[in-house]
Structure 1
């Protein structure tokens, strides 16, 4: 099929790679414009932009798709369908209607649960035992279109948002090429989402990154894993002396009780409102992530220390 691909972050790259591998004709790749990044704030191309250029594909990166000239350029591509994976721009009606067979989105949840910006993080933070990928035919509403294919992925106590991101990117790529194969044969059935069970995955706010240890240990663990590795949930180390943020990137449940925030042993076991957690991977402010045992060799934190 002749397709347009629309995506921006690393999550989108496996889908583009898989679609190319299946022999589809990519008329153009749309992605977000290069943005200032790094210490020098030089312009950096998105992961999709870099991959598409390396693959010899035509790349377009308009600031908006609301310009009629840009919409006409999109329609003139002759694409039969568009594949959209974390593109980051709203698609106006004129763009949605341009491909004869429609626009299809890889969404990282089992719709209608977790429509919106942060479905991976919110599923973990809410304690969901499963999530997955939905292939959706797009319409004007926010993730409201009919669902064509789904695949379920379990969430365990060890699953972080980074783990789930990488797994769902691969699952989404595989599921999308299946959907395109069915679409090319005229056999892709898409069913309206059920009205019950709708939830919205709001964008992660900066204030959410501060770990609230006045919560049960299981809820604290899910909160930490849902924000790992980005933005990274943190506690304040030595809050009464020289405050330093310590990100907790991977933790496990641990035995012990104490005041919320109290360090219970020399392995950095931390008491919560009930139960405790033990960090496995941490990141001190301005440093690289490291295993907790390595961190403690350079920065011992004795039992009885209060974390805030």
Structure 2
């Protein structure tokens, strides 16, 4: 790196922390961290800061948590930071044009897909759900459109047959942090130009709706396997147990099998699907801890012929 940059970092969840940490470790000056406001959490509903907020505060960085960046005051405070660039990683708030135009070099986003595929809020989940063979992270220029800016750099990774959003999240967060630290100096010195996104192949990764997380056992087993992995660990794909209680299916395996959809086929939690079957490997009953299928069955006997809803 030839010259440390004055940076504003904008991010909220765990996914963004490695990039913030890497930028600080690379010697850049993070003049301010923007994150979503603390939200009530836990039994006592105490306000809990985002993971980015907590990390920044613990390391002596200035933190701002505006509910919006659309006010004149918020925009003036942002511009007054006199930043070279703003780095945005899963921030969660819309950036108005005034904000995008304020830093000297611009605003740059780390996005968790291979654009233009999976623009939007849930690219990791949608890539697994669709059965994509690979995905990645990209450093891109930010503009008013939703993830439409030019791409500076890409890091790719295959999506394995056992990958969940959780495992993919951790891998991409690490890849993305390294990619941002490598790419940012090249943007700053003008040695790296961005490439416009292709006009063909655009898909949108819509935010996960709770209504789509219930398992429909009439669907093919391979589709349900992808759905379960896409929604693991959060928000979780769920079904109803024979006693009417909800349970999240956390891990499973596609197997051969025939039977009426939702019927338990053996004593080890093999479930018939529209085509094929799923072997449940781990699950979590509502209000209880996550368990392996073997441990769950020890306290919740389920037998062939019983039905999951």
* TM-based fold match above 0.5: yes
Q: Does 1:236 align with 2:237?
A: no
Matched with 2:208 is 204
| CA displacement, residues 134-158 of structure 1 (integer Å, 9 cap, x when unaligned) | 1110000000000111111111220
Task: Say if 2:296 is the partner of 1:295.
Answer: yes
Q: What TM-score does the superposition give when structure 2 sets the normalisation length?
A: 0.97
Gap regions ≥5 residues in structure 1: none
Q: 1:78 aligns with which of 82, 96, 107?
A: 82
Corresponding position of 1:13: 17
Structure 2 counterpart of 1:102:
106
Deviation of the 1:121 alpha carbon = 0.5
1:56 match: 60
Instruction: Look up the SS of the partner of 2:31 in the other structure.
Output: strand
> Structure 1 residue 184: deviation in Å?
2.9
Report the secondary structure of 2:83's partner residue: coil
Counterpart residue number, 2:157: 153
Aligned length: 305
**What secondary structure is seen at the aligned counterpart in 1 of 2:8?**
strand
Task: Give per-residue Cα distances to partners, 1:101-137, cap 9 Å, x unaligned.
Answer: 1101010100000000111111111111111111110
Offset at residue 185 of structure 1 (A): 2.5
1:42 aligned residue (46, 57, 60) = 46
Q: Which residue of 1 aligns with 2:142?
A: 138
Distance 2:88 2:297 in 1: 44
Name the counterpart of 2:249: 248
Instruction: Kindly report structure 1 stretches of 4+ aligned residues shifted beyond 6 Å.
Output: none
Q: Distance in 1 between matches of 2:255 and 2:36?
A: 43
**Whole-angstrom CA distance in 2 between matches of 1:100 and 1:73:** 15
Corresponding position: 1:223 with 2:224: no
Task: Determine if contact 2:115/2:197 at 8 Å carries over to the other structure.
Answer: yes
Superposed CA deviations along residues 82-110 of structure 1, whole A, max 9, x for unmatched, are 10000010000000000111101010100
Q: Aligned equivalents of 2:305 and 2:39: distance in 1?
A: 45
* Counterpart secondary structure, 1:89: coil
| Structure 2 residue matching 1:110: 3-state secondary structure | coil
Q: 8 Å contact 2:18–2:177 — kept in the other structure?
A: yes
1:183 equivalent in alignment to 2:184? no
Shift, 1:300, TM fit = 1.3
| Structure 1 residue 244, shift from structure 2 partner | 0.5
Match of 2:125 in 1: 121
- Alpha-carbon distance in 1 for matches of 2:183, 2:286: 44
* RMSD between superposed Cα atoms in Å: 0.8
SS of alignment partner, residue 220 of structure 1: helix
Match of 2:263 in 1: 262
Deviation sequence 1:214-248 (CA, Å, 0-9, x none)? 1111011001111111110011101xxx3101110
TM-score by length of 1: 0.97
The CA distance in 2 between the partners of 1:181 and 1:301, in whole Å, is 58
Work out the CA distance in 1 between the residues paired with 2:205 and 2:188. 32
Q: What does residue 213 of structure 1 align with?
A: 217
- In the TM superposition, residue 70 of structure 1 has moved relative to its aligned partner by 1.2
Q: What's the secondary structure of 2:70's corresponding residue?
A: coil
Listed one character per residue, the Cα deviations across residues 248-287 of structure 1 (whole Å, up to 9, x for unaligned) are 0111112211111111111101111111111111000101
| 3-state SS of 1:190 partner | coil
Question: 1:304 is matched with which residue?
Answer: 305
Contact between 2:265 and 2:305, CA under 8 Å: does it hold in 1? Answer: yes
